[in-house]
Structure formats: C-alpha cells, structure tokens
Amino acid sequence: AKGTRALPYGGVPTFLSAPYRPVGPEETTFGDLQVALVGVPMDLGVTNRSGSRFGPRALRTIERIGPYNHVLDCMPVGELTAADVGDVPFRSRYDLEGCHADIESHFRRFLEQGVATLAVGGDHSITHPILRAVGREAPVGLIHIDAHCDTGGAFDGTKFHHGGPFRNAVLDGVLDPTRTIQIGIRGAAEYLWEFSTDSGMTVIHAEEFAAMGPEAVIARAREVVGDGPTYLSFDIDSLDPAFAPGTGTPEVGGLSTREAQQLLRGLKGLNIVAGDVVEVAPQYDATANTAHAGAQMLFEILSLMVFSPSVGGRKD
Amino acid sequence: AKGTRALPYGGVPTFLSAPYRPVGPEETTFGDLQVALVGVPMDLGVTNRSGSRFGPRALRTIERIGPYNHVLDCMPVGELTAADVGDVPFRSRYDLEGCHADIESHFRRFLEQGVATLAVGGDHSITHPILRAVGREAPVGLIHIDAHCDTGGAFDGTKFHHGGPFRNAVLDGVLDPTRTIQIGIRGAAEYLWEFSTDSGMTVIHAEEFAAMGPEAVIARAREVVGDGPTYLSFDIDSLDPAFAPGTGTPEVGGLSTREAQQLLRGLKGLNIVAGDVVEVAPQYDATANTAHAGAQMLFEILSLMVFSPSVGGRKD
Amino acid sequence: AKGTRALPYGGVPTFLSAPYRPVGPEETTFGDLQVALVGVPMDLGVTNRSGSRFGPRALRTIERIGPYNHVLDCMPVGELTAADVGDVPFRSRYDLEGCHADIESHFRRFLEQGVATLAVGGDHSITHPILRAVGREAPVGLIHIDAHCDTGGAFDGTKFHHGGPFRNAVLDGVLDPTRTIQIGIRGAAEYLWEFSTDSGMTVIHAEEFAAMGPEAVIARAREVVGDGPTYLSFDIDSLDPAFAPGTGTPEVGGLSTREAQQLLRGLKGLNIVAGDVVEVAPQYDATANTAHAGAQMLFEILSLMVFSPSVGGRKD
Amino acid sequence: AKGTRALPYGGVPTFLSAPYRPVGPEETTFGDLQVALVGVPMDLGVTNRSGSRFGPRALRTIERIGPYNHVLDCMPVGELTAADVGDVPFRSRYDLEGCHADIESHFRRFLEQGVATLAVGGDHSITHPILRAVGREAPVGLIHIDAHCDTGGAFDGTKFHHGGPFRNAVLDGVLDPTRTIQIGIRGAAEYLWEFSTDSGMTVIHAEEFAAMGPEAVIARAREVVGDGPTYLSFDIDSLDPAFAPGTGTPEVGGLSTREAQQLLRGLKGLNIVAGDVVEVAPQYDATANTAHAGAQMLFEILSLMVFSPSVGGRKD
Amino acid sequence: AKGTRALPYGGVPTFLSAPYRPVGPEETTFGDLQVALVGVPMDLGVTNRSGSRFGPRALRTIERIGPYNHVLDCMPVGELTAADVGDVPFRSRYDLEGCHADIESHFRRFLEQGVATLAVGGDHSITHPILRAVGREAPVGLIHIDAHCDTGGAFDGTKFHHGGPFRNAVLDGVLDPTRTIQIGIRGAAEYLWEFSTDSGMTVIHAEEFAAMGPEAVIARAREVVGDGPTYLSFDIDSLDPAFAPGTGTPEVGGLSTREAQQLLRGLKGLNIVAGDVVEVAPQYDATANTAHAGAQMLFEILSLMVFSPSVGGRKD
Amino acid sequence: AKGTRALPYGGVPTFLSAPYRPVGPEETTFGDLQVALVGVPMDLGVTNRSGSRFGPRALRTIERIGPYNHVLDCMPVGELTAADVGDVPFRSRYDLEGCHADIESHFRRFLEQGVATLAVGGDHSITHPILRAVGREAPVGLIHIDAHCDTGGAFDGTKFHHGGPFRNAVLDGVLDPTRTIQIGIRGAAEYLWEFSTDSGMTVIHAEEFAAMGPEAVIARAREVVGDGPTYLSFDIDSLDPAFAPGTGTPEVGGLSTREAQQLLRGLKGLNIVAGDVVEVAPQYDATANTAHAGAQMLFEILSLMVFSPSVGGRKD
C-alpha cells in the first residue's frame, strides 16, 4: 500500500479540480495567478435552445480530467499557477448587453494584471466582450473551432446574439480577421456568414476538415495565426452530436473528440493568450458526454498555455 | 367492425387536437371563434432554469387528451368553436419587455373580437401582458394555482420577471386583488410576497390545501371570485415534482394531478374569461409527464369555458 | 457473520426470483405446480404507443421483490409451488388474432392441469384469450383495476384491440358482468364504455375511489364478486403516471401505489383463480418505476393466491 | 437591427419547416407541388422493437434543418415547390397488409399527378408499397443505405415484414435488382439475404465501406444506377448506434453522419424520383440525435431532388 | 429596480448554498460553527445498487433550497452559524470498516467542539459510526424515517452493511432503543428486523402511517423521544419511488414529500443534536427529483436545529 | 410463409441467447462444454463510478446479437458447445479480496475440465483472478483493449483495485509481459503505468492507433502474442464515450465500434484460450448502446474461439 488518492467524486467540484480561489469584487491580490478559470453562466444570446447558463456547473462536476497530458507531456494545473476563480458577477440575468459589459470588465481585471483567462460559457456571445478585454490594446488572432462562423449581423433587434461575436469583435477592432481561422463549419446558415470571407478569415468547413485531415488543418492554422497573440475559442457544437448532444444548436456531421484533441494538441507552442469552451447545455446531455468533452477540451487548452510564450513559456 | 378512429400519433400536432387555424398578422376574420388556443413560446423572465419556450410544442405533442370530460360531462373542443391559432409572433426573442408588448397586442386582437383566449406558456411573466389585455376595461378576478405567489418586486433591474406578474397586474389596475386567490403556495421565498396579503389577496399554502381538503378550497375560491369575470392561471409547478418535474423552479410538497383536477372541476359555472397553463419546460421532463399534466389541465380549463357565462354559457 | 444472501443483481432474472422452469410445447409433467408465472410479450392490440411486448423482460429484471409480504404475512414463492414457466410461444408476431389463439391454448394447458396462472403482459388484449381459458367451463367474476373500462366495440376493422377484452369476454360467455367490478376508471373515452353499465358491471371511477377511500372500495369489490371464482386483472395504467409513466395510454389523476397495494391486500381470502399485470412499456419508463410497481403488484396478487380457496387455500 | 427571423421552436412543426398543406382524401388540386413530404406512421412490420410509428412526429419536431445546403449550394424548400402534406390515412392500425394497400394508393395519388414523394417512416416495410406506386410503369433503380439488406423471405406467416421489402419489390417487378445497390450492410443475419446477390444487387458491407472510402462507394453507386429513374431509401440504422440509437434493430459498426452526408451529396445529378427516411423510433432516442440525423438526411435527399432531372432539373 | 439576487446556477455549489468552509485534517479553529454540513461519499455498505457515493455532490448541485422556511418561520442558514465543511477524508475507498472508523473520528472532531453535525450520505451504514460519535457519552434517542428498519444482523461476513446500523448502534450502547421510533417501514424483508421490536423500538409501517395520519405519528414520535438528545436520520427511500426514484433499494408504497415535510416540521422544539440524509443515488434519478427532495429534507432538519435546545435554542 | 423465428424480446435472457445451463457449486458434469459464458457481477475494485455489478444482466438483456458473423463466416453459438453458465457465486459482496478468491476458484473449475471461459464483468479487477486460473500452469500472452494500462500499484491500502490487474498478474507469474499488447490507451494517468513499459509490454495509445490504422495494429498484436496461449481482455472504456458512455472511468478520444470490430476480427486464428468483456455500467447508459457494444464484442471474441487452436480449432 502506497498511500491514498483523492476521491474523484468527493468534495466541492471545481474546474479541472483546480484550487478554488474565489475573487471578490474589490479584490486586487490575485496577480500571482498565471491562469484564471472563469465561469460565465449566461445564455441570453441563444437563437434556439437555452441552457448553457448551467454549463459552468456541468463542467465543474466532471470527474477525472487530468492531471497529466501524456501527448503534450505536461501537468497543466501543477505547472501553472491556475485556479477556479468562480463566476462572473452579473448585475442582471435579464440584460444581454449588461451581461456583456459585466463580462468585459471582469475579464479586464484579470488580464490587466497579466493573468491569462480561460472561460467556460455560457453561450458564444460571451466571446465578444472577452475579446474586447483581450484585444483592448491590439487586435488578436483567433483559432475558432465551431460548427458555425458566428459572423452574422443583427436581427431581432440586436447584434449581440451568439451568432455574431466575431463580426462584432472585428468591427470593434479587437480581432484581426486575417489572423483568424474557423474550423469545423457546417449547417444550413452559410448565407449568413459572408463577413467571414469578406473580412479575410480562413474558413475550414467540416467536409474540408475530413478531406484534408487534421495535420493539414493544423498546419494551416499555425500559418494563419503565426507567432502573434492568439485567442482560442472552442464551441462544443464543433463536435458531432454523437459526441456532444448537449448543446443548443447541434449540427450533424461534426468532429469526433479524437479529431478535436489531435487538432488542439497540434497547436503546441502557439502564443495562446486566452481561450474559452462554450455552449455546453447539460439539459440535453443524457450521458454527460458533452460536459465531459468540454472539460477535456478545457484541459487541452490549459495544457497549451503551459507552452504559450505569454503564459507558461515552457520550451519543449 | 364499426369504422375508423384517428391515430393519436398521426399528423401535425395541435393543442388538444383542436383544428389548426393559424391567424396571420393582418387577419381579422376569426371572430366566429369562441376560444383561441394560443402558444406563447417565451421564457426570458425566468429566475433559474429556462426552457419553457419549448412548452407550447411540448403540449401540442401530447396524444390522447380529450375529447370527453366525464366529470363535467362535456366535449369542449366539440361544443365550443375552438382552434389552435398558432403562436404569438415576437419581434425579438431577446427583449423581455418587447415580448410582453407583443403578447398584449396579440391577445387584444382576440379579446376585442369577443374570442376568449387560453394561453400556453412560456414562463409566468406572460400572464402580466395577457391580463393587461383581459382587464383593459375593468380589473378581473383571478384563480391562481401555483407554488409561488409571483407578487415580488423588481430586482436585477426589472419588474417584468416571472416572479412578479400579479403585482404588476394589480398596480396596472387590470387585476382586482380582493377577487384573487392563490392556491398551492410553498417554497422558500415567502418573504418576497408580502404584496399578496398587503393588497388583499387570499393565499392558500400547500400545507393548508392538504389540511383543508380540495372541497373547502373550492368553496373559498368560489367565494373570493364570485360571479365576476375571472382569469384562471395554472402554473405547472403547483404540482409536486413527482407529477411535474419538467419546470424551471420546482418545489417539493405540491399538489397531485388528482387534487388539481378536482380543484379545477370544482370551478364549474364560474365566469372564466380567459386562462393559461405555464412553465412547462420539457428539457427536464424525462417521461413527458409534465407536458401530459399540462395538456390535461388545459383540457380541464377549456371544459370550464363550456360552462362559463361569458364563453360557452351552458347551464348544467 | 451468519452466512450469505443471494445477490439481487446476480444470475438470470425471473419473475419474482421464482424458480425458472420452462415448459416446452409438448411437456405435460408440470401438474405439480400450483401457480405458473407466464410471460405474454405481445402488444399488437394497442391503440397508441406500443412497447409492452418488452413488459415481461422488464418485470423479470426488477430486483428485490419479495420474499415476505408483511401485511398479508406470507411468503408466496415459498408457500406455493410457483415457477416462471417462460413465455407463450407465438406462431407469428404479426397476427393479433393468431396470438390470441396461441395465448388461449397455452393457458388452457396449465389451467386444465389445475395450475393457476399469473400472466405478465403485453397489452390488455391478452386478457380476452386468457379469460376464454379460465372461464371455459363457467363464467368467472372479475376485479379489474385500470384507467379504462376496456369494454369498447370494434373499430379499425377489429374487436380484438386492447380497448375491448372485457366486452369480448362477456359476449363469449366466459365473464360474468354482474360479478365484475372496474376500479380506477378515468380518461376521456367514457363514451365508448356504455357496455360496462349496460351489461351490469360495477364501475368505480378514479374520483369516486378518492372520495370513497380504499376500504369502501374493497368492501364493494368483495360484495360484487362474492365467493365465486374470480379473475384479477391489474392494468398498470390504473396507477397515476407519476407512479407508472411507462405505459401506452397513461391518464393523469390515477391511483398511488400505496392505494393500489391497500386495495389488493384487502382482497385476501377471495377465490382468485388467475390474474395478470399488463401494459408495462419500459421504453417510456426512465426510472424503471413502472416495472417496479408492476412486479410489486404481481407479488401482491401471488400473495392473494396463497389465501385463495382454489389455489393455496391457507385459512388465516 | 435588420429585421426578424422565425423562432426555431415556434408554431406547429412540419417536416423541414416546409409549408403545411394537408391533402384530404378527395382532394385533387395539388398537382402544382413538385415534392410531397409524406408521413407514414406505421410500424406493424418490425421484427423486434416497435416505435417508428412515432417517427414522423419526431422528425417534424426537429428544429433548424435547412434552409441552405452549402455543399450542394441549394435551398431545397425554397427552390422546389414542396410541402408537408400530412400523413397517409390508414383504415386500420391493426392490419399490416391493409396499411400497405393504403400506402400504395396514397402515394399513387401524388405520383400520378407528377408529384415526387419523400416519405418519412414508419418501419422499412413501407418501402414495398411505395415502390409499387413508384415502379408501377417500369421497375426503378435503388440506392439503399441500411444495416440490413431487407431481402429476406417470409416467416411468421408473412412476407410483408420489414426484413423483406426489396425482395418483394423485385418479385413484383417494380424494382430492378441489377440497378440496385445496398450500402452499409452488417449485423448477424447475412444468411437471410441470399436473394440480394442471387438477384444481381450490388452489396457494400459496412466494413467494405470503411475500406473503400466514401468516394469509391459513390462512384460504384452512380455506376450501378446510371441515368435511369432511381429510388433512394435511407434506413436510419445504417448509421452507427452512437449516431442513431433510436431505432428498432440497431447494429454496431455503422456509418457516421459525416460519411452518410458525404455519400448522399455525392449522388448529385442522379435521376432521383422518390425517396424515404425510415425506422426512427424516438422512444429509444434519449438525446433526439436520431430524429435529428433523420431530418438532416431528409434534407439532403430533398436537396438531391433539386438536381434530379425528373424533379427540380437544376443543372448545377 | 431594487438590486440584485444571486444566480441559483452560479458559482461553486455547496449544501443549501451555505458558506464553504473546508476543514483541513489538522484544523482546530472551527468551534464557532453551530452546525457542520458534512458530505460522506461512501456506499460500500449497500446490498443492491451502489451509487450514493455521488450523493453529496448531487445534493450540493440542487438550486434554490431555502433561505426561508415559512412553516417554521426561520432562515436556518442565516440564523445558525452553519457551513459546508466539505467531505469526510477517507484513507481508503475499498475498506468499509476503515471508512466507518474515518467517519467516526471525523464527526467526533466537530461534536467534541460542540458543533452539531448534519451529514449527507452515502449509504445508511454511515449512521452507525456517526451515532458512535454522537452517543459516545450517553445513548441518544432516534427518529428514523426509512422504508427499512436497518436492524438486521450480519451476513456475507459483515455486520457493517447498510441493513444493520441501528442494531449495531444499540449493541454499542450509543443508541437507546426505547427512545427510538422508525417510520415508513415496508418492503419484503420484515423477517430480518426482529431486533427492532425485541429491543423496544417503536415501528410505524407505511400502511400504519397512512392509516394514522401524520399528526398522530408526530405525536407518537414526540412521546417516544421526549426531551432527551435525539438523532434524526432521513433515508430517502422512505419516500415513494414516484417521489424519489434515485436510490439503491426502492420500495413502492412510501411517503410523499408533502407527508415527509409535515412529519419533520411537526418535530419542532425537540432536542435534535445531529442528523443525516442518506441513500440518494443520482445515477437512478432521471429528473433530479430525488436529490431535490433530499436537499429539501436537509433544509427541514437544519430548520429544526434552529429550535433545538442544544443547537439554535430559539424558543419559537 | 416459411415457419417461425424466435422473438428477440421473448423469454429469459442469456448471454448471446446461448443455452442456459447453470452450474451448481458441486456439479462436475459440464466437461462437454467448449466455452462457458460466465457472469461476474462484482465492482468493488472501482476507483470512481461503481455500477458494473449490473453488467452481466445488462449484456444478457441485449437482443439480436448473432447468430452469424459474416466477416469471420461462423455461427459461434452453433459451432461451439457454449452455454450461459450463470454467475460466479460470491461468499460476500463486501470483500474485494474474497471475491477475487471466489472468481479464481470458479474459473479453475471450468478451465481444469478443458472448458474455455468468456467472462462478463464486473470491473476490470476481475481479470487478475481469472488470469491466475488461466495461467496457473504457465504464463499466458495478452491482447488488452482498454483506455487504461491497468498496471498501477497499490493505493488506498490495496493492490486489488481495477487499476492494477495486469501488474498483479505479471508479478504472480501468470501473465507474460513480453507477450502482452495494450491497445487504445489514453487519459490522464499515464504516470501510473510505468510498469507496462518497464516490464516489456507493448503499448499502443489511442492517438497511435489512429495514426497507424487498424491493420498495422493487428499486425503488431499478432507479432507480440505469436502462437502461444493468449488471453483477450476487452474493457468497454476502450471505446469512445460516444459509443460507450455507460462505464465508470470514461475517456474521450477512444475507438469506434467499427474500429474495435475490425481489430478483433483481425485476430482470427490466434490461440485465444479465454477472454472477457468488462466495465459495462448500465446506470450510465441512457441508450443501452454500451451494453449493446459489449454484447457485440463478446460475440466477436466467441467467434474468434471458433478458430482458436485450443478451443474450436476450425482452420478457416
């Protein structure tokens, strides 16, 4: 007998079993953190099924993600000073634009102290205010893995819905479209996403992903974003519904988790400055597979941060 | 062999298998209807779990509700000229107050032509604009079956959430609190509902319901509302979660469906002018029991309309 | 330590964990049995949702029913020579009338050797051929617990559907309507069941059950069937869908399992000659509660057989 | 703000959100339609689990399929005059052969007026009477995507079960076996399907599909059916149960949705005259993934009809 | 607008949304607490279905329990200094007796500092070591709400299974059987529980509960335990499976949540010194109703502690 | 009409519908069997979620696996004398080491009579005692398909948990590590499995499987195990959770069922002497896909035994 291991099902759950370090509204002493894992339980931007407001709780509850990433050979929660810092405090659960403002200011608190952020949504509209915080000084690049381009314009009286964050970010000058690649695109709304190609983004559809293979896509992604600061956004609906049914706008014909892992792991060494996993809606997740996949992707992104020049900076 | 019966599972589903008669935005020729069954797929007012935007679809899909009500001895869809008129057209799925305005104007279209309405929510906030349409000329009475009083004030920047429709309706002068009875109340938010008693409403808690028995509650309800025009609002969370798990703010210790049916059937002959069934969230309804119970209550309320002086007017 | 108990989850499952004694098509040596537990996996008679063809497997799989009935103070599987004899062999899964013929001849094999039968359906249409076997010499009485009278006439070209077995049995001269009581009746098809009252059956609706209370219903049932040979048929949809969602034609407002157990236990000493539990459709039974309730009712009926003069004959 | 989009969850659901245009038994004025989407809620032909009688309702309820097919670059519901015409009216839900007769005559009504049909089952036995209507003048070719060849002979007293429609169609002279290809075949009943090879059909097993790759299978399919009129039948159990668990006879080792989409899209320009999607059984579909996949395949087949010489006739 | 309320679905979940105050193995400064809410994720004692090791996580995740108990008119988390102190640290998840030793010593840490404990299981075997800590100086009384007496002897080589904690506690001298009442008893294992009556416990079976009514049972319970220190143990399987399917040894015919709440609330003023809620197994809880009921009962017990002379000491 | 086929859903379920031949504790006359299918309902060795104690029942209940394997062209249940011999009789469900002793002695009974065994777990710890029986005379080779190497050392006071069976087997001298290949390895516990490589096992990670392709892995496996006696162990968590969610320690990024079937079928002709399928936990298996996949893999392994020199010995 060699001692004892923690129960996977014991205690209060946190993202990736990271230490729990809630950050209060006035606290300013968290600058020693390298990465803040932040919950963003907000889904007012959805076009169809709501539910991702329960996404952060769902990902926290998944057992047994980590500690070791044997492909990237790292222990991200151990190697980085990372913590679950709790959720964005919202002034109102009824005000989409207000929530966006709260998100932006909350993420700025971390980023301005040099703490990288890794967000758990919530719907994809949250990425717009996060990008406003991340790219506040200069537009960043983007690796965006999703079934949808999310570069649509306003409708139903708003542009802040979850179908438009990347258009908004470009127009706000915080995202560089020429350093943006969108991977896994499919579904029946292509006609809404002209902005992607018009603005110079690189779009890899799901069927192109299948034809090219993951390695060619990785090469293309590395080429597009280069060495500059890059945001990594993982929408769980990039995965096929067989792998991730628990989401609001599923699209058949998507990636497998194995492909997604291979893709993410191929991004080692890029200058990832922040990221997110969004759109897990546990109400539609009969097996918890979706939350499980989301937590795994969160782990992969945190692993990449070990090797990101602007976060962990590990060389090999 | 004596002919053929309709398949319960065949064709396009409508509320209570009523005829489908969609009413377009400019149409004005539906005044021959006695009752319009209206879907209101809107849940922006919830405090916790969303999902009742899928309530109308869930209730339509339930098979085998009706045709005959053997306790009240009526065939409501046959005796009344009733139709599924489709859903409220919303200008934006992102604007709670705008949705309320759309609801009010849509229900006015029917009510101003003398068509009684029976709404299927959606969250309970929809009852405020419906009451504004129903009580536009004079405040109405209310029989309100629910786990919560829904007479709370503003928070998170709005008073239009699903915890406050009846306060709003009283303050707007469209609901008469002295002719209002709230039945089945429980849960842990009693301190938010002082307005109920302060304004003169009658409140029957769940434990009082159990102690008094249905017949005494029926008598009290008839006494409170009298002969005047009365709205009947049925929140599915009045039922115990064992009977209706598929809702956003469940509370243990509620009514059984048998008690709820007995209660409703005891209201025969009252002057019911309009009504609703709200808060069915099918994402949380693993067995479809909640939608089933909701459709049954819809049937019971429509049955009451057969005997309402201002709708069907049948005497016995 | 005092020895070992059987694992509830071990081995090949049988009804009530009774011994497995399959009876082959030519076998004639099972006359030592007192009760044969027979599966009848046939659901061609349903009007709506199919699925009860999986009912026998579902009831076999329930763990931990029995051995001891502390209210009736008996151990039925131990006190009676009872066995799970397997399922009715059907010549065709596509022929409703043929299946009925197979059922009748299979049950005759047992009954003619003096073996009482306890069937597990399957839809309720199976009770017609079983009653033809049971009442082949003289019509029997019936205690029928159900949401529906099942005395409807032919439609869709057949009278053998699950809505008519008791009409058919009366017309075939194998069921005595004046010794028949139907308990728990509700739903919206009352107009189809005139035959019940016309033929002299006693009908206790669900709301009457609630008003009278179980003891009065028991007294009425004992009065109706008297000392004569009596069949006991338990349709799982007699229970409220909160207790038994897994069935093809659920009706809200039904019995609780506690009420059903009290009712059955009140029938101790009656001359129960055969019985059934029908209409469990496990596809709709997310929690297995329905199969569990069905297995418990099977156990209660087998317990009654301990005290039935024509089966166990125990006096106290 | 640029206007408003339809709510995916609003209103009465129809196949692919196509216009609802019910066709009554005597109506003869629907000849302007190019494609009729027809529900066939019948599952009397199953060998194992029933449930696909609820298939049409399940597919109607799926949100967000279409409007745009970005791979085939078409908007099928917009480009074709297509409508949801409701379900086949059956004279009896208890008579397999009678249902087949009703199906044949109902589909003839459309086909004789030059309206192509796209059916939603129901079990696969429905394809036999549909093919009798489609091939009434001359035998058609067939692209058949399925886990099973469905060319078995009679058993249990009938040849009309869901394991034999294509044998029956060949023997009736309405299907040309030499212009038939069956793709995705697997499972443990190969010994029942000698008729496929004996009659000259081309059979591509699931493991052959994996070895050849989709493009080679597409080429083979195009070669087999050539330019002649061709029926396209998609059995949802061709998909692996990970992608489509909600079906009656699932077989592990099947196609992914991505493979199935690639396969279907590769058939652009073929002379598709009619088609179907069958065997969705929503009772077994905990995540709705199966109905979702079925609706997507329906959309892909309708998209192919845009380019079929005998339907939309678009050149590309 | 009047400010903001906490999101029910936000942040890291704790029991009853109480403050999270993890207590480390050497920490000794928690004596200011009045009540420690302690998770006990251990289910090695089950006889049938395991799974309650996930019970503490399941109860923490339930939203919206409390703050106000309107029947007892108290806000227990506010009025008492109560905290979620995390889970018992186990040296091994493989050693039933070792876990019991860890439980006993962990609870002693709190009790010896005068902190009352409220445990969340875990299977019912945990109550034995807790009682050893609670009754270490003198045997306590017990109100035990359960489907099973749990006074069985050893089998399968151990007496520490979940069917025997109260026998063990009596034999260890930490539980006074004459001040013990067991309520809700049913199921088919009565013959194992002779110890209950032999030792002088009062046993109220489920059918007796129904016959007596809650008020008479409350009176009997108050009489049995008197003013002395009393433990309150709530096994979730006391509830009927319709209300609480998610448990390892369900028994039909149980209490409703309304009855259970009435029963607990009737115990106001008794000298409750510690308590537990056990046997929630979320794997079997398709709707989360069981965890919800468990959390509500936890809230009711904590509310009683407000009025317990040895905890909150509030007079009324 | 050509006769009748067995109902897939009829009767008492057995593994692969094999004959049921329970073997009592003293029976010695089963030496005519070639293969015993043995249930091992024990999950005391799990590190996280329990539940696989219900695995044998779950696999028995799957319909329609077999009879014919068209890729290997055999009918294994027909060609081999195989039977479902029931479950291992355990002396205690509470004693992990005792259960292991019971497993070893039970399997020895079969193996010593020359009956090959095919076990259905239960958790993976059962393979250790089985290997002790299989390799009692000489160490065997192993093809091990799994997400985890299961060569970890002791923790929590025991080495008999499900994370260590293969280390234990090597150290006991019953498994030859140089003739062992582990396929599908992934997850975050790689640092625990140094023993695999240190002892000379061949490890193929999931990402290596994807890169090499099934055929190269097959070649490697054949090379590693050669012609010697070989055990085949299939842990269901080798499959991706999309294919097999119902297991205790799922890991995303796994094999598809199609890949697993291809892999197994590629092992034809190897000297398979015994095998198992383990870790199916039906509580987490909302669609039954996991049990279905498990039963299919059981069928594939039994098919391999037809061609194994030491079992069926068929040449091809």
Confidence of residue E74 (pLDDT cuts 50, 70, 90): very high
* CATH class of the domain whose range is F33-307: alpha beta
Chain B residues whose beta carbon lies within 8 Å of the beta carbon of residue D20: 12, 20
* Cβ distance of B1 and C252 shorter than 8 Å: no
Please tell me the distance in Å from F122's CA to the nearest CA on chain A: 20
Residues D129, D131, D132, D135, Cα dihedral to 10°: 170
* Cβ distance of A188 and D288 shorter than 8 Å: no
Mutate to test the interface with C, among B289, B292, B300, B302 (most CBs of C within 10 A): B289
**Average pLDDT, integer, range F16-21:** 96
* Cβ distance of E92 and A41 shorter than 8 Å: no
Residue C214, chain F, CB below 8 Å: the answer is: no
Chain B residues whose beta carbon lies within 8 Å of the beta carbon of residue A91: 156-157
* Cβ distance of B157 and E1 shorter than 8 Å: yes
pLDDT tens digits for range B99-114: 999 999 999 999 999 9
Tokens of E127: 């109550």
pLDDT tens digits for range A250-265: 999 999 999 999 999 9
Tokens of B245: 């798990």
* Cβ distance of A284 and B284 shorter than 8 Å: no
Tokens of D224: 């087999």
Please tell me the distance in Å from D55's CA to the nearest CA on chain C: 12
Q: Which pLDDT does position D28 carry in this prediction?
A: 85
Is the model's pLDDT at E225 over the cut of 50? yes
Cα separations (Å) of D54 from B63, B159, B294, C203, D41? 11, 42, 21, 33, 6
Q: Please say whether the beta carbons of F271 and F116 come within 8 A.
A: no
Please tell me the distance in Å from B158's CA to the nearest CA on chain E: 6
Tokens of D98: 């009678």
Residue B286, chain E, CB below 8 Å: the answer is: yes
Nearest partner of A274 among A94, A98, A142, judged by Cα: A142
Q: Please say whether the beta carbons of B175 and B166 come within 8 A.
A: yes
A45 exposed, middle or buried (CB, 10 Å; 0-12, 13-18, 19+)?
buried
Confidence of residue A204 (pLDDT cuts 50, 70, 90): very high
- What lies within 8 Å, CB to CB, of F94 at 6+ separation is E44, E45, E96, E156, E157, E158, E160, E161, F44
Q: Which amino acid is at E183?
A: I
Nearest-angstrom CA–CA distance, A117 and A101: 17
Chain F residues whose beta carbon lies within 8 Å of the beta carbon of residue E156: 91-95
Q: Which of B159, B246, B253 sits opposite E261 (nearest CB)?
A: B253
CA-based end-to-end distance of chain E: 35
Nearest-angstrom CA–CA distance, D277 and D279: 7
Nearest partner of F311 among F165, F179, F134, F123, judged by Cα: F134
Nearest partner of E128 among E253, E44, E227, E199, judged by Cα: E44
* Cβ distance of F65 and D188 shorter than 8 Å: yes
Residue E159, chain C, CB below 8 Å: the answer is: yes
* Angle (CA) C174 C177 C179, round 5°: 100
Say how far residue F228 (Cα) sits from the centre of its chain: 18
Q: Which pLDDT does position E2 carry in this prediction?
A: 62
Q: What is the CATH number of domain B15-19+31-307?
A: 3.40.800.10
pLDDT tens digits for range D34-93: 999 999 999 999 999 999 999 999 999 999 999 999 999 999 999 999 999 999 999 999
pLDDT tens digits for range D11-29: 999 999 999 999 988 888 8
* DSSP H or E stretch at residue C304: helix C289-307
SS3 (DSSP) at D100: helix
Chain D residues whose beta carbon lies within 8 Å of the beta carbon of residue F261: 207, 252-253
Q: Please say whether the beta carbons of D263 and D214 come within 8 A.
A: yes
E227 exposed, middle or buried (CB, 10 Å; 0-12, 13-18, 19+)?
exposed
* Cβ distance of F8 and D242 shorter than 8 Å: no
Confidence of residue C254 (pLDDT cuts 50, 70, 90): very high
Please tell me the distance in Å from A273's CA to the nearest CA on chain D: 32
* DSSP H or E stretch at residue B293: helix B289-307
Confidence of residue D1 (pLDDT cuts 50, 70, 90): very low
* Angle (CA) D156 D159 D162, round 5°: 90
* Cβ distance of F4 and C53 shorter than 8 Å: no
Chain C residues whose beta carbon lies within 8 Å of the beta carbon of residue E288: none
Indicate left, alpha or beta for B253 from its phi (over 0: left) and psi (-120 to 50: alpha). left
Residues of chain B where predicted confidence (pLDDT) is lower than 50: 1
* DSSP H or E stretch at residue B85: strand B82-87
Mutate to test the interface with F, among A5, A59, A218, A297 (most CBs of F within 10 A): A5
Chain A residues whose beta carbon lies within 8 Å of the beta carbon of residue E41: 7, 9-10
Partners of D292 in the β-ladder: none
Domain D15-307 belongs in CATH node 3.40.800.10: yes
- The per-residue DSSP string of D87-139 comes to EPPPS-TT-HHHHHHHHHHHHHHHHTTT-EEEEEES-GGGHHHHHHHHTSSSP
**Average pLDDT, integer, range C75-97:** 97
Q: Which amino acid is at E38?
A: V
Tally Cβ neighbours within 10 Å of residue A94.
21
- How high is the ipTM of this complex? 0.97
Q: Which pLDDT does position E118 carry in this prediction?
A: 98
Q: Which pLDDT does position A2 carry in this prediction?
A: 63
pLDDT tens digits for range C205-214: 999 999 999 9
Q: Which pLDDT does position A1 carry in this prediction?
A: 47
Nearest partner of A293 among A250, A172, E190, judged by Cα: A250
Nearest-angstrom CA–CA distance, E183 and E188: 16
Residue E57, chain A, CB below 8 Å: the answer is: yes
Q: Which pLDDT does position B1 carry in this prediction?
A: 47
Tally Cβ neighbours within 10 Å of residue B175.
28
What is the residue whose two structure tokens read 């009475």? B141
Q: Please say whether the beta carbons of E225 and E181 come within 8 A.
A: yes
Tokens of B227: 């002969």
Is the model's pLDDT at E251 over the cut of 70? yes
Residue E43, chain F, CB below 8 Å: the answer is: yes
Among 3.40.800.10, 3.40.50.2000, 3.40.50.720, 3.40.30.10, what is the CATH number of A32-307? 3.40.800.10
Say how far residue F181 (Cα) sits from the centre of its chain: 14
Ordered alpha helix ranges (H), E27-118: 55-61, 76-79, 96-112
Q: Which pLDDT does position B169 carry in this prediction?
A: 98
* Cβ distance of A94 and B283 shorter than 8 Å: no
Q: Report the CATH fold assignment for E15-20+32-307.
A: Arginase; Chain A (3.40.800)
Q: Give Dmax (Cα) for chain C.
A: 64
Residue E156, chain F, CB below 8 Å: the answer is: yes
Please tell me the distance in Å from A147's CA to the nearest CA on chain E: 27
Is the model's pLDDT at F1 over the cut of 50? no
Residue A125 phi/psi, 5-degree rounding, is -60, -20
Partners of F69 in the β-ladder: F74
> How do D272-278 and D230-235 pair as beta strands?
parallel
- What lies within 8 Å, CB to CB, of C302 at 6+ separation is C16, C35, C37, C76, C77, C80, C82, C118
CA dihedral for D96, D97, D101, D104, sign (positive or negative): positive
Chain F residues whose beta carbon lies within 8 Å of the beta carbon of residue D254: 258
Tally Cβ neighbours within 10 Å of residue A216.
13
Tokens of B71: 């306790």
Confidence of residue F265 (pLDDT cuts 50, 70, 90): very high
Q: Could you state, in order of their start, the residue ranges of all structural domains in chain A?
A: 32-307
Mutate to test the interface with F, among E93, E97, E160, E161 (most CBs of F within 10 A): E93
Confidence of residue A28 (pLDDT cuts 50, 70, 90): confident
Q: Please say whether the beta carbons of F76 and F28 come within 8 A.
A: no
pLDDT tens digits for range E9-55: 999 999 999 999 999 888 888 889 999 999 999 999 999 999 999 99
Tally Cβ neighbours within 10 Å of residue C226.
11
Q: Which pLDDT does position B100 carry in this prediction?
A: 98
Residues 241-280 of E with CB under 8 A from A: none
